[in-house]
Amino acid sequence: MCLDQIQWQPWYKKIINSLGYDPSEDRRAALILNQLLKGKKISLDNLKLRIKDQPTLIFGAGPSLEADIKRIAKTSLFDICRMITADGATTGLLKIARKTPDIIVTDLDGRFEDLRDANDKGAFMVVHAHGDNIKHLNMYVKDLKDILGTTQVEPIGELHNFGGFTDGDRAVILAEVLNGKPLALAGMDLGNVTGNFSKEHIFSPDVKKVKLRFCKDILEWQAINTATKIFNLTGSGENIKGIERITPEKFENIILNSSR
C-alpha cells in the first residue's frame, strides 16, 4: 500500500518541521525534473512489467550490505527474485555480486558512475526530486535513460508521489505498488553507523540519523498497513516492528514453497 496524498501530508509536515526543509524548493525541484524527463521517461506500467509476479529483494546501503549480499549469494534468491536498490546500494550489488538491479530508487547522491553503469546495463531509474538535489538533477539526469520521476510534494506532469522519504523506504513502498508479492530487505541497518556504500559525502551525521529514524518509522507504518509479506534479511542493525527478521535461506524456502 502506498501512502496516498492524505496519508502522506502528516508525514511530510513532520519531516519538513524536523529538518527545516522548504516546500517551495521541493516544488521547484519537481518542476525541474519534470522538464528534464522529456524523451527519457518510462511509465509505471513499464516498471510493473519489469518486476512481473516475482518476489523482490530490496537493498539498502547500510553497514550490513556486503555481508548480506554474500549470504544471499549462497541461495537461489538472485535467480528467483527481482532486485531493487536504494541509491548507493547499487554500487554494492555491482561490485560484490556482479548483479545489475532491475530498478534503482535514487535522489542521485550516490556514486553516479555506478548508477549510470547499471542504467546502461538495463536498470530502470526511479529518480526523486527534492529541494536539496536540484544541482544533481541538472548535472546527471541528462546522462540517464528509462526514468520514472517522483516527488515528495504534489505530483505534477509526469511525476508520481507514492509517499516515502529516504531512498530505502521509498523503494519498499514502490515495490508493493508494483506487485504485492513477498519482499525482503537487505542492508537496511537503520542505525547510527553509515555503510561503506552510502552517499559519498555526508555533511551532517545528525541529519543522517534523523533521516534513518523517519525511514524506520515509515517502514513500520507500512508493515501494519499492508497485506504484502515483508521480511528483513539484514544481518544486524535495528529491528523493524512488524517486519520479521529471517535468514536468506528461510526466505528462499518461503518463496519456493509458495510456488508449489
The residue range of the domain holding 105 is: 5-258
Q: How many residues does the chain have?
A: 260
Query: Quick check: helix, strand or coil at residue 82?
Result: strand
By CB neighbour count within 10 A (0-12 exposed, 13-18 middle, 19+ buried), where does 250 fall?
A: middle
The Cα 88–Cα 74 span in angstroms is 23
Q: Between these two residues, 3 and 231, which has the higher pLDDT value?
A: 231
CA distance linking residue 259 with residue 105, whole number of Å: 28
Dihedral angle at the C-alpha atoms of 205, 154, 11, 29, nearest 10 degrees?
Answer: 10
Q: What is the DSSP letter of 260?
A: -
Collapse the DSSP code of 136 into the 3-class scheme (helix H, G, I; strand E, B; otherwise coil) and give the result.
Answer: helix
Torsion of the alpha carbons at 24, 203, 128 and 171, rounded to the nearest 10:
-130
For residue 80, give the amino acid letter.
Answer: I
pLDDT of residue 185: 98
Among positive and negative, which fits the CA dihedral 170, 176, 179, 181?
positive
Q: What is the pLDDT of residues 60-94, one digit of tens each?
A: 999 999 999 999 999 999 999 999 999 999 999 99
Whole-number percent of the chain with pLDDT over 70: 95
pLDDT at 200: 53
- Tens digit of pLDDT for each residue in 189-248? 997 766 666 655 555 678 889 999 999 999 999 999 999 999 999 999 999 999 999 999
Q: Say if residue 49's pLDDT is above 80.
A: yes
Instruction: Compute how many other C-beta atoms are within 10 angstroms of the C-beta atom of residue 68.
Output: 28
pLDDT on residue 6: 85
Q: Determine how many CB atoms are found less than 10 A away from the CB of residue 258.
A: 11
pLDDT digits (tens, 9 = 90+) for 104-160: 999 999 999 999 999 999 999 999 999 999 999 999 999 999 999 999 999 999 999
AA letter at 230:
I
Q: In what order do the strands lie in the sheet with 56-59?
A: 147-151, 124-129, 103-106, 82-86, 56-59, 183-186, 230-232, 244-245
Q: What is the CATH number of the domain that holds 111?
A: 3.90.1480
pLDDT of amino acid 4: 78
Please report how the helices 205-224 and 167-178 are oriented relative to each other, as an axis angle in degrees rounded to 10.
20
Instruction: Return d(Cα 127, Cα 118) in angstroms, integer.
Output: 14
Kindly report the pTM of this predicted structure. Answer: 0.95
Domain count, the chain: 1
- The grid cell for 26 is 521541493
Percent of the chain scoring above 90 in pLDDT: 87
Mean pLDDT of 11-19: 95
